Structure 1
């Protein structure tokens, strides 16, 4: 039941818990490189977290979602990448991730964003309107796992580049701060 869930902006006091939630959420996911917590920290350091929301229940953080700007090779402006999305394992499949995605997309729309893209599981993200877009891709990602959602009429074409923070892997001192 989501009646006791609050979705809000991250606060400085949330940073450690966000890292812990992210590690726990991806711990058993075999397709993960287990670097998501480093990506979020690098995005935060680069001031590239355009939207960073947490889900809170009874004073405890149970989820997090991040959105950051992307660069499109066709020059389209106002596009964002979603992710990582993390929910503590004990609260997964209870609507927390859905609430975070919906709140994040509403926030992006309020910022006059043109659209959002992500790398993720087809069965999950298509329910929000995300679709594979012929002619739009990201290097190294199979087309069936890359999705976009335009807030306007048309989707851009070309290559999408996520923020360089997505290469953070914990191997440098910068990655773990």
Structure 2
């Protein structure tokens, strides 16, 4: 998936919060067999967006939780709804497949529109509580430290 790898590099290059490892994280998820769901958006034969879902743990919950990311959209197509559409489709597929919910680190302003909650009950390393979010499909709200797949933990 060289096209997705290049898209991911291009999408994150201008982001001030990026450490430049997003494409490598995606490679590691693939290599480890942890890329549970990978969706792409294609326009005129070109991949313009991608979202990845991989297993995650929340506290003592080892099954049913998934991490989202990276979410990549070509810079010239950002803010056009491609990322939102991919996230919504992915959430629907993961929920239909029986997932308990999803967790992520990111902007509450952006991910709040999908129903994600940043309430401090879920933590991740030293990430500020406002940037650690969860969305439960079934069961009660999660609580505890998040552990993502190794590809996202590196």
Whether TM-score is above 0.5 comes out as yes
Q: Tell me if 1:64 matches 2:61.
A: no
Q: Deviations over 1:77-107 (max 9, x none)?
A: 2000000000001111111001100110011
Name the SS of the counterpart of 2:94 in structure 1.
Answer: helix
| Equivalent residue for 1:97, pick from 65, 83, 101 | 83
Deviation for aligned residue 1:142: 1.0
Unaligned runs of 5+ in 1: 1-14, 169-177
The ranges of structure 1 where at least 4 consecutive aligned residues each deviate by more than 3 angstroms after the TM superposition are none
Name the SS of the counterpart of 2:67 in structure 1.
Answer: strand
Deviation for aligned residue 1:73: 2.2
Q: Deviations over 1:54-84 (max 9, x none)?
A: 0111111000000000122223520000000
Q: CA RMSD in A?
A: 1.2
**Residue in 1 that maps onto 2:141:** 155
**Residue in 1 that maps onto 2:17:** 31
Task: Return the alpha-carbon distance in structure 1 between the equivalents of residues 99 and 92 of structure 2.
Answer: 10
Contact 1:82 1:118 in 2 (8 A): yes
Between structures 1 and 2, the one with greater strand share: 2
Contact 1:76 1:156 in 2 (8 A): no
Contact 1:25 1:89 in 2 (8 A): yes
Unaligned runs of 5+ in 2: none
Contact 2:55 2:67 in 1 (8 A): yes
For the pair shown, the structure with the greater C-alpha radius of gyration is: 1
The 3 A distance-change label for structure 1 pair 167 and 116 is closer
**Residue in 1 that maps onto 2:129:** 143
Q: TM-score, normalised by structure 2?
A: 0.95
Task: Return the alpha-carbon distance in structure 2 between the equivalents of residues 50 and 64 of structure 1.
Answer: 13
The 3 A distance-change label for structure 1 pair 152 and 113 is same
